[in-house]
Amino acid sequence: MAPRAGQPEHRGPLLPGLLLVAAALSRPAAPCPFQCYCFGGPKLMLRCASGAELRQPPRDVPPDARNLTIVGANLTVLRAAAFAGGDADGEEAAEGGVRLPHLTALRLTHNNIEVVEDGAFDGLPSLTALDLSHNPLRTLGGGAFRGLPALRSLQLNHALARGGPALLAALDAALAPLDELRLLGLAGNALSRLPPAALRRPRLEQLDVHLNALAGLDPDELRALERDGGLPAPRLLLADNPLRCGCAARPLLAWLRNATERVPDARRLRCAAPRALHNRPFLDLDEARLRCADGDADGRGDEVELAGPELEASYVFFGLVLALIGLIFLMVLYLNRRGIQRWMRNLREACRDQMEGYHYRYEQDADPRRAPAPAAPAGSRATSPGSGL
């Protein structure tokens, strides 16, 4: 059909150009890795949960992946550069290799991980959240987190209890390069002290150490929780720890009362020792009650002298109860005074009658006229000459 007069003639058909643009925009994404599930496309989130069959991180994760979750596998050992091309046989990726440059969240819970080698997370420069909770860690390399300059959240809940003191020392070294760390989860690890390196993280906003074996915090740990230079001090989750409410707990009690908002679960803190204060709310105690037993200067003994205003108040209350009981007894006696008088009179008459009876029998027994005659000798009646028999 010829174009009408006055209308510009099209230089070329539009349909081929639109098809080319659509083809470019609809380019197929990288396939989802074997044994994994992809949600919203591979570049959004991957979840790999294949049980004992998965013994190393999948090597065919799309490079534009943002979130990777591996749960319930049997990884056991995370070798160096495990997510940058290294494999379970010890082969390391090429130096400077970055296979997942956009990965921001990595969750590796319940994977039976026992060993994390130095540089295990090399090649993940954008990672901001790492979760290794619920793994029986026994060995942690001092440089395990060295390749994570942007890490802001690290969760190690229920993961350090089996490693002993050596693992806690390695944790101090592993946390040292994480200057951007904001959240650190160490719940359920049987910790008896706070890791010093965790307290020194300059931008730490929250430290979760609930459900551990902390008997208290010493003054050095409390000072390390403060920040200079206008930086906000971190929040501390401290519930479900066996606090020993001795004299060593006084600094912690004073600190909590001045910074309650920094311990959201402060109202859940309970005393585990001594027995006299067992399960008492820690914040409700008076410092006068936190005393050390003799020869126990650090306040960590099982017996603490129970003293203070609360004990004195209990004595006063006990005295008031006894006074009230005595008052009630006197009131009962007063209301029954006539009956009591009658009972006393009857008792006196009964006693007098009884005594008169005893006195009469005594007089009867003492009368010589009522004494029995002596018995005659045997055979005297037969030999008597005056006998008429």
- Per-residue model confidence as pLDDT tens digits over 322-348: 999 999 999 888 888 888 888 888 988
pLDDT of residue 56: 86
Range 299-328 average pLDDT:
71
For residues 313-331, b (16+ Cβ closer than 10 Å) or e, as one string?
A: eeeeeeeeeeeeeeeeeee
pLDDT of residue 298: 52
Which segment of 42-56, 118-132, 355-369 scores lowest on mean pLDDT? 42-56
* Element at 208 (helix H, strand E): strand 206-208
pLDDT of residue 340: 87
Confidence label for 377 from pLDDT (cuts 50, 70 and 90): low
Task: Say yes or no to pLDDT of 48 above 50.
Answer: yes
Range 222-248 average pLDDT:
91
Cis peptide before 177 (omega within 30 of 0): no
Q: Which of 3.80.10.10, 3.40.1440.10, 2.70.70.10, 3.40.50.1360 is the CATH number of 31-213?
A: 3.80.10.10
Which segment of 60-69, 163-172, 312-321, 343-352 scores lowest on mean pLDDT? 312-321
pLDDT of residue 27: 43
Report pLDDT digits (tens) over 259-268: 889 999 999 9
Report which of residues 48 and 166 the model is more confident about: 166
Residues in CB range of 335: below 8 A, 6 or more apart: none
Range 161-186 average pLDDT:
93
Which segment of 31-40, 71-80, 125-134, 279-288 scores lowest on mean pLDDT? 31-40
For 215-292, CATH gives: 3.80.10.10
Report which of residues 45 and 343 the model is more confident about: 343
Cα within 13 Å of Cα(146), Cβ side? 14
Task: Say yes or no to pLDDT of 387 above 70.
Answer: no
pLDDT of residue 88: 46
* Paired tokens of 349: 């008459």
User: What is the share, in percent, of the chain residues with pLDDT greater than 70?
Assistant: 75
* Element at 140 (helix H, strand E): strand 139-140
* C-alpha to C-alpha distance for 153 and 258, rounded to whole angstroms: 27
* C-alpha to C-alpha distance for 159 and 107, rounded to whole angstroms: 14
* Paired tokens of 143: 């440089």
User: What is the share, in percent, of the chain residues with pLDDT greater than 90?
Assistant: 48
Angle between helices 337-366 and 309-335 (to 10 degrees): 70
Task: Say yes or no to pLDDT of 30 above 60.
Answer: no
Task: Say yes or no to pLDDT of 249 above 90.
Answer: yes
Range 45-66 average pLDDT:
79
Residue with the two structure tokens 């402060």 = 266
* C-alpha to C-alpha distance for 318 and 306, rounded to whole angstroms: 17
**Average pLDDT of the chain, as a whole number:** 81
Which segment of 21-25, 169-173, 199-203, 273-277 scores lowest on mean pLDDT? 21-25
The closest of 159, 107, 115, 151 to 133, measured between CA atoms, is: 159
Task: Say yes or no to pLDDT of 131 above 80.
Answer: yes
pLDDT of residue 18: 52
Indicate if 215-292 has the same CATH topology as 31-213: yes
Task: Say yes or no to pLDDT of 2 above 60.
Answer: no
DSSP 225-277: T--STTPPPPEEE--S--EE-SGGGHHHHHHHHH-GGG-TTGGG-BEEESGGG
Q: How far is CA 352 from the centre of its chain?
A: 76
Q: Are 190 and 218 in contact (CB under 8 A)?
A: no
pTM: 0.68
Residue with the two structure tokens 């971190």 = 234
Task: Say yes or no to pLDDT of 47 above 50.
Answer: yes
Task: Say yes or no to pLDDT of 368 above 80.
Answer: no
Q: What are phi and psi of 273, to 5 degrees?
A: -150, 150
pLDDT of residue 318: 87
pLDDT of residue 373: 60
pLDDT of residue 292: 77
Task: Say yes or no to pLDDT of 79 above 50.
Answer: yes
Range 21-42 average pLDDT:
59
* C-alpha to C-alpha distance for 101 and 80, rounded to whole angstroms: 17
- Domain map of the chain by residue range? 31-213, 215-292
- Taking CA atoms, 48 is separated from 35, 65, 211, in Å, by 6, 13, 29
